[in-house]
Amino acid sequence: MVKPVTAVIAAVLFTGMLSACKPTDSKVETVNQVAPERPNILFILADDHRWDLVGKYHPIIKTPNLDTLASKGTVFKNTFVTTPICASSRISILTGLTERTHDYTFQQPATGVQESAAMYPAMLKQAGYRSAFVGKYEIKMSGDDSDRFDFFKPLLQAKTEQYEGQELPQTYYIAELAKDFIEQNKEGKQPWTMSVNFWNPHAHDRDQQNQYHYPAEFESWYEDVTIPAAKLSDDASFANLPQFLRESIARDRWQYRFGNEATYQKMTKRHYRAISSVDRAVGMIYQALEQTGQADNTIIIYTGDNGYAMNERQLAGKWFGWEEDLRVPLIIYDPRQPQDNQEIAQMALNIDIAPTILALAGVDIPQTYQGKSLLPLLDNEDTEWRGEFFFEHMYQPKRALIPPIVGVRTDKWKYIHFYKHDHQQLYDLQNDPEEAVNLATDPAYQQVVSDLAARTLSYIERYEAQRSDEVKARGRYKNELIAQ
């Protein structure tokens, strides 16, 4: 019987309740081996949670449960999405493919048959795992959901939901559904994997007065704090943007999110509270693992589906190629091998999630995947790793201006091409980490621009060539390459 929600909340109020898990002698299995007792794998995704809004690394926001996971596990300090928008990024997470290859975004047909069959929950289900999904879905896959999930609870965005006669904030409702699945599997007859996708801290787009919502007990959080100004939030930084960005949906949404100091303070605090509520829900789920005796064999992975602009350049939202749009948190906690504050600097991507989960479960990784298992980095192996990655945003709605982008980020350079508007950006990330100075038109950097543009084109050609026959037949964006 599930405990009354109020009792659970009281038990996890702002605590470090994640207990110390005893390490065992079992080691993570290689891709081609299966452990006698395969681990459960809990994947938690928050919507619009950017990389720096985790309490362990932030002077204001409070996320005690995530902080504890980070302190006991591994934090990937440079984690990025290959497409900064939720639908495409979530398909990339499930399939290990870039948007350019899986070709899914809003208002498009379902993800292809081949891509859907190779998503990691389906493969784990075929390998003997019980598979669950709870929370925000908003994507379309080919085939029946029963092919992928034994427990499937997709949700549209809402402020509250009904659960066992109680009206709960949706974030807590999602936690309760996750706890139900954990309770169902406490006998340990099968290993399981569960994706818990929170809607928070995503804005309620139609509610321009409040935007971000959270349980009532967070209303006083951050009241006595003054949020510092966002980087590059001055008038001059906005004026330096090209006209199409000044007129984009990112500016429209800025008006009611951050349009003056009072609104900026109000909305930023509301956004922080929404993140803190997700943190508390994570604590509720972890407590269920402990109470059912499953915590010591459940790997937890936490990340966000894209970054989020919080008044940088007087813009709001995501969609573009700046760091605030592309970077997300990534925490991996394996209680069988606790790492104690391990931090990894190599680039991790959202397309690395699927191969990593399969590797942790001892399931072969499809050759079609474009991401890489993070296990060699987790295990401190001496391995060659990527020094750059390709990113893009292909969604072009009819009723709002979201200019599409392609680009490449290396350890030193960021190249972004708004190819529909003939505008390029180049940033020296080592000497200009805030991306304040666009060097793309500087004569001294034309060779760098040319080299990165060529590499971007090479990625586009490669990822389009890797499309399945079904996706190729659609012809969407075929040969829509950057202009030379």
Residues 148-179 pLDDT 10s: 999 999 999 999 999 999 999 999 999 999 99
Structure tokens at 144: 């029946």
Biggest alpha carbon distance in the chain? 69
pLDDT at 436: 98
Whether residue 479 is predicted with pLDDT greater than 90 in this model: the reply is no
Q: What percent of the chain has pLDDT over 90?
A: 87
User: Confidence band (pLDDT; 50, 70, 90) for 478?
Assistant: low
Cis bond before residue 201 (omega within 30° of 0): yes
Over its C-alpha atoms, the chain yields an Rg (Å, rounded) of 22
Question: Looking at per-residue confidence, does 450 or 400 come out higher?
Answer: 450
Q: How far apart are CA 46 and CA 66, in angstroms?
A: 12
Structure tokens at 128: 């003997």
Whether residue 245 is predicted with pLDDT greater than 80 in this model: the reply is yes
Residues 58-107: tens digit of each pLDDT: 999 999 999 999 999 999 999 999 999 999 999 999 999 999 999 999 98
The pTM score is 0.92
Whether residue 34 is predicted with pLDDT greater than 90 in this model: the reply is no
Domain boundaries, the chain: 37-382
Half-sphere exposure for 163 (CA within 13 Å, toward CB): 22
pLDDT at 480: 60
- Does the domain at 37-382 match CATH 3.40.720.10? Answer given as yes
Average pLDDT, the chain: 92
Cβ atoms of residues 62 and 382 within 8 Å? no
User: Confidence band (pLDDT; 50, 70, 90) for 29?
Assistant: very low
Phi-psi region of 102 (alpha: psi -120 to 50; beta: other; left: phi over 0): alpha
Angle between helices 64-72 and 261-291 (to 10 degrees): 60
Question: What number is the average pLDDT over the span 225-238?
Answer: 98
Q: How far apart are CA 304 and CA 297, in angstroms?
A: 23
Question: What number is the average pLDDT over the span 205-229?
Answer: 97
Q: How many CB atoms lie within 10 A of CB 260?
A: 9
Phi-psi region of 368 (alpha: psi -120 to 50; beta: other; left: phi over 0): alpha
